[in-house]
Every structure is written in structure tokens, then in C-alpha cells.
């Protein structure tokens, strides 16, 4: 039924593509004010018990999904830093020691930040894990991904610029209903830097407790946005990315493979010009992509390369001019970005054949190009970016300034169903849907 609906919308969208330009939705969403939820809101509740672990989150700890990094914070003392885990809830037979760190910022003390890398897991297996000790111990679980393979189905969620307002809560709750198995996070997490002094750190802690509901049970693939790099105390992001650095010798950009997807995470806030470390790395990583094993190739980055929103207009141009020709050459399926607090999806367009005297300086339809999705609409306290360029550029297929999240459900090597859900009076309503046909197969 859903697929039928999706196919119908795809036919509609395809016919739009041949004729007129894209669509600007007139939907207006102002249900809740753009303010952070109060610190004493139940979603920020501190778990009971002395030194109880909080802000629990996991991410993939290796290239192919046989390792996870489990991270958490204990408030009172460093305490035990090990994770007990196993495939049976009643028999957590294996224990692995993690690392601990802490920092101060103004009068704020971070608590003790733990990271534990667990390797050698079996694919497609449910693991239970316990952290903390005695009465304060807490139990969680996660499911490892299936073995890498071309027709392995998998469902990703895509969230960006989430923050911690009531709109953010709506987005997270809707995502939890979606059946997504892992989150591609396009940057800007807590927006704690909008708060001053010790509240900066405090709002990292509240955000960590808020996101735990999902992030403790399935990996979130992090990407660094401007709200992570402009201020210092990144409990969540940089501390976490540090772990990734150990594995990929790179803190801010990395790649993982999961099920039938190869995911490349880029940093908008690190050098990417020719012969910079990120440039050299990406060139090598794209050459490593094996579409026979992982047919789906996605790129995550914070600043959009194509966006017709007035907010942050053209900020992604520099990276576009450096990387876009590779995205076309390697037939990237989709590029997901955040930064702009609204939603937009492009047609397959490119602007790599640049010749001013020849008159070629505009994006043109290109069947080898990725689609570009801007999904910085998680719902943070800065509110929506509701002003768009008019007329809508030809590359822009659909745009709407409201809050939401997306899912990307890979069916097999040729088909994936993509849906963007708007938060509509507390309901999740599919508002932009299409079937993605793989660019390689
Ligand atoms: C970190 O933890 C140690 C050991 O408990 C403590 O002595 C120190 O003051 C803490 N440092 C910060 C920056 O909170
Ligand atoms: C740019 O276009 C002009 C006019 O068509 C052409 O003479 C020139 O060779 C082109 N330059 C490049 C680098 O393709
Ligand atoms: C992939 O899935 C789609 C939609 O479910 C189906 O129509 C198609 O035949 C499948 N292709 C392969 C190669 O199995």
C-alpha cells in the first residue's frame, strides 16, 4: 500500500521533472515556539541511583559493522568503565574496559565521559549490554547490521540540526516510530552554544539524555556542524569523533559500510582544497567503493552543496567546486546535508562543465549526478529558515520550511524508498516521497 503510494508520487514527480520546475510547499508550521525545553522536562531526567550512567550512545566502531563504540557519562565519580555484554539478556558473559576523560568549562564540570570500543561482534545479532554498577547499573541492547552484501535491505533514518526544543522532541519521537535501524546525522547536535557560561555544558548533558532513547540502541553516524566547532566543550561530538580517529586516522571525516550502503561523512569545517588531507582521503575512499558489494553510495556533509534557501545561501559553493565532479564520476546516489533549517530536495543536476565564455555556468540536468537533500529541519531553537529564492531554481524539486526527518529504506541493489516526514500537529506525515533507483545498477 505504502509502496503503491510512493510509486504514484514518483510518477507524479517524474512528470513534473519533464515539464515545469519544482514545487515550493506552502505549508506553514509554527506550532511550538523555538525555545529549548526546560531543563527539568522529563525527557532530560537524570537516571536514578548514585553515579548512574547517562547520555548513553553508540556508533559503528569499524568499517563493516562488526564493532561498536559505546559512550556514556557518569556524574559523581569515574567508577567502573567497563561494558558487560552478550547475546543473552541473562548472561552478559563478556566484559570490555573503556576509557575515561573529563573537562571543565567556566564553572561547569563535565562528569566522566566513557568510551568503550567493542570489536569482533557477529553480524545480524542482537547484543545486550550493561554499564554502571550495583543498583545504578543500566541495561540496553543493539542489533549488529547484516553482513555487507549487494541486496541486503536496510532502513536508515536521516536527522539534522536537532537541538532540544519541543519541535526536536516531536522529530525524535516520529523517528522512533519509523522503524529506522541507524541514523545518518547531518550535523549540529545540541545547540548548547546558544547558551552562555556553564549552561553550554549543561545543555550538552540534557541533549545527551534526550537523544539516548534512540542513540543508546542504534548507531548514529555523527557529522560535525558549526555548532560543534565554534564552541569548545563537545561532550558528544569531538570526544566521540576522537574514537573514530583512532580507527580511521581522521577525526572529522570518515567512511563506513553498512548492509548494502557505503557511507562517506565529510567535514564542512576542515580544509578540503586540492591536496588537503580531506581531499586526498576522499579521492582514495571513492576509489575503494565497491558497488558490487555496496551498491548504494551516500555522502553526508553539514553545509548543503545545492540549496535555494536564502539562509546560508552558497556557503557550500567552495566544497561543491572541489568535490562535485567526483560525485558525478562515482555516481553517488544522494548527498544529505543540514545547516539550513528547512527541507529541500534537488533533481539530478550538476554544474561541473563550467565555461563562462562558452555560456556554461548553470546547473544542468545530469543523470549521473546525485540528488541533494537538505534536511536541517530537526527543530532547534533557532527556528525555521523560511525564505527561499524566487523563482525556484530548476535544480530544486521540492522545498518546504517545516520540521521533520527522513527515512531511506533500501530494498535491494536497484530500489530504495525515500520519505521525508513533516511534523504536522504532532503527527508524522509523509510530505516528500520517491523511489530512488540506484545510480550504478
Ligand atoms: C577529573 O577527574 C579527576 C579524578 O576524579 C578529578 O580529580 C579532576 O578534578 C577532574 N577534572 C576535571 C577537569 O573535572
Ligand atoms: C569554453 O567555451 C568556448 C566557447 O565555446 C570554447 O572556445 C573554449 O574552448 C571552452 N573552454 C574550455 C576549457 O572548454
Ligand atoms: C528490487 O525491489 C523492487 C521493489 O521492491 C522490485 O520491483 C525489483 O524487482 C527488485 N529488484 C531486484 C533486482 O531484485
Domains 2-37+151-437 and 45-143 belong to one CATH topology: no
57 within 8 A of 236, measured Cβ to Cβ: yes
User: How sure is the predictor about 228, in pLDDT bands with cuts at 50, 70 and 90?
Assistant: low
Q: Look at residue 7 and tell me whether its pLDDT is greater than 80.
A: no
The terminus-to-terminus CA distance of the chain in angstroms comes to 25
282, 317, 328 from 352: Cα distances, Å: 18, 12, 9
State the maximum Cα–Cα separation within the chain, in Å, rounded to a whole number.
73
Distance CA 161, CA 47 (A): 25
Over residues 368-393, mean pLDDT: 95
Residue 432 bridge partners (DSSP):
420
Distance CA 13, CA 2 (A): 16
| 400 CB-near residues (< 8 Å, 6+ apart) | 24, 25, 27, 342, 343, 344, 422, 431, 432
Any atom of ligand 2 within 6 Å of the Cβ of 355: yes
What is the Cα Rg of the chain in Å? 21
Q: How far is the CA of 365 from the centre of ligand 2 (A)?
A: 20
Q: Which residues are catalytic?
A: 312
Q: How far is the CA of 363 from the centre of ligand 2 (A)?
A: 17
| 30 CB-near residues (< 8 Å, 6+ apart) | none
Any atom of ligand 2 within 6 Å of the Cβ of 358: yes
Tell me: the pLDDT tens digits for 33-91? 889 999 999 999 999 999 999 999 999 999 999 999 999 999 999 989 999 999 999 99
428 within 8 A of 434, measured Cβ to Cβ: no
Give the residues surrounding ligand 3 with Cβ less than 6 Å away.
411-415
Residue bearing cell 552484501: 149
Percent of the chain with pLDDT over 70: 89
CATH of 2-37+151-437, one of 3.20.20.150, 3.60.21.10, 3.40.50.2000, 3.30.750.200: 3.60.21.10
User: Which pLDDT belongs to residue 109?
Assistant: 83
Q: Which candidate, 431, 178, 422, 185, places its Cα nearest to that of 298? A: 185
Position with higher pLDDT, 397 vs 20: 397
- Could you state, in order of their start, the residue ranges of all structural domains in the chain? 2-37+151-437, 45-143
Number of other residues whose CB lies within 10 A of the CB of residue 224: 26
DSSP state of 38: P
pTM: 0.90
Tell me: the pLDDT tens digits for 268-292? 988 999 999 999 999 999 999 999 9
User: Which pLDDT belongs to residue 31?
Assistant: 65
Q: Give burial (CB, 10 Å; 0-12/13-18/19+) of 415.
A: middle
Tell me: the pLDDT tens digits for 242-262? 434 443 333 589 999 999 999
Give the atom of ligand 3 at the shortest distance from the alpha carbon of 412. 1
Judged by DSSP in three states, 175 sits in helix
Judged by DSSP in three states, 158 sits in strand
Q: How far is the CA of 415 from the centre of ligand 3 (A)?
A: 6
User: Which pLDDT belongs to residue 353?
Assistant: 87
CA angle 302–307–308, rounded 5-degree value: 150
Any atom of ligand 1 within 6 Å of the Cβ of 101: no
pLDDT averaged over every residue in the chain: 88
Q: Quick one: CA dihedral 82, 87, 89, 90, positive or negative?
A: negative
Q: Quick one: CA dihedral 390, 396, 397, 403, positive or negative?
A: negative
Lowest mean pLDDT among 104-118, 241-255, 354-368: 241-255
205, 235, 419 from 106: Cα distances, Å: 15, 15, 43
Topology (CATH) of 45-143: Immunoglobulin-like (2.60.40)
Residue nearest atom 8 in ligand 1 by C-alpha distance: 102
Amino acid at each position: 500500500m505504502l509502496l503503491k503510494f510512493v510509486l504514484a508520487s514518483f510518477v507524479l514527480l517524474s512528470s513534473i521533472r519533464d515539464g515545469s520546475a519544482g514545487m515550493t510547499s506552502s505549508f506553514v508550521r509554527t506550532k511550538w515556539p523555538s525555545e529549548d525545553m526546560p531543563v527539568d522536562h522529563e525527557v532530560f531526567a537524570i537516571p536514578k541511583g548514585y553515579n548512574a550512567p547517562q547520555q548513553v550512545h553508540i556508533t559503528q566502531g569499524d568499517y563493516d559493522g562488526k564493532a561498536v563504540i559505546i559512550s556514556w557519562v557518569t556524574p559523581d565519580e569515574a567508577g567502573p568503565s567497563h561494558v558487560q555484554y552478550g547475546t543473552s539478556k541473562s548472561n552478559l558473559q563478556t566484559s570490555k574496559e573503556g576509557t575515561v576523560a573529563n573537562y571543565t568549562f567556566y564553572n561547569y564540570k563535565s562528569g566522566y565521559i566513557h568510551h568503550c570500543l567493542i570489536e569482533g561482534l557477529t553480524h545480524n545479532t542482537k547484543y545486550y549490554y550493561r554499564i554502571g554498577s550495583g543498583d545504578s547499573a543500566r541495561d540496553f541492547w543493539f542489533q549488529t547490521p547484516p553482513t555487507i552484501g549487494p541486496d541486503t535491505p536496510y532502513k536508515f533514518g536521516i536527522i539534522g540540526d536537532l537541538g532540544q526544543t519541543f519541535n526536536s522532541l516531536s522529530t525524535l519521537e516520529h523517528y522512533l516510530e519509523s522503524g529506522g535501524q541507524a541514523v545518518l546525522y547531518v550535523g549540529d547536535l545540541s545547540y548548547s552554544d546558544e547558551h552562555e557560561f556553564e549552561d553550554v555544558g549543561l545543555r550538552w548533558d540534557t541533549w545527551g539524555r534526550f537523544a539516548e532513547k534512540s542513540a543508546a540502541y542504534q548507531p548514529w553516524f555523527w557529522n560535525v556542524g558549526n555548532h560543534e566547532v565554534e564552541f569548545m566543550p563537545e561532550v558528544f561530538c569531538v570526544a566521540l569523533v576522537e574514537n573514530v580517529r583512532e580507527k580511521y586516522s581522521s577525526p572529522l571525516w570518515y567512511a563506513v559500510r553498512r548492509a548494502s550502503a557505503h557511507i562517506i561523512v565529510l567535514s564542512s569545517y576542515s580544509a578540503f582544497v586540492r591536496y588537503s588531507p580531506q581531499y586526498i582521503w576522499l579521492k582514495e575512499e571513492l576509489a575503494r567503493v565497491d558497488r558490487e558489494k555496496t551498491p548504494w553510495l551516500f555522502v553526508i556533509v553539514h553545509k548543503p552543496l545545492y540549496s535555494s534557501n536564502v539562509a546560508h545561501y552558497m556557503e557550500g559553493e567552495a566544497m561543491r567546486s572541489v568535490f562535485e565532479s567526483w560525485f558525478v564520476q562515482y555516481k553517488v546516489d544522494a548527498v544529505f546535508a543540514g545547516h539550513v533549517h528547512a527541507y529541500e530536495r534537488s533533481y539530478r543536476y550538476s554544474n561541473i562543465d563550467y565555461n563562462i565564455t562558452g555560456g556554461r555556468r548553470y546547473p544542468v540536468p545530469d543523470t549521473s549526478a546525485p540528488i541533494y537533500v537538505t534536511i536541517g529541519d530537526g527543530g532547534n531553537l533557532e527556528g525555521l529558515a523560511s525564505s527561499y529564492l524566487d523563482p525556484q531554481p530548476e535544480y530544486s524539486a521540492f522545498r518546504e520550511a517545516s520540521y521533520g526527518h527522513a527515512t531511506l529504506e533500501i530494498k535491494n541493489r536497484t530500489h530504495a524508498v525515500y520519505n521525508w516526514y513533516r511534523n504536522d500537529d504532532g503527527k508524522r506525515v509523509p510530505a516528500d516521497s520517491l523511489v530512488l533507483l540506484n545510480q550504478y545498477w
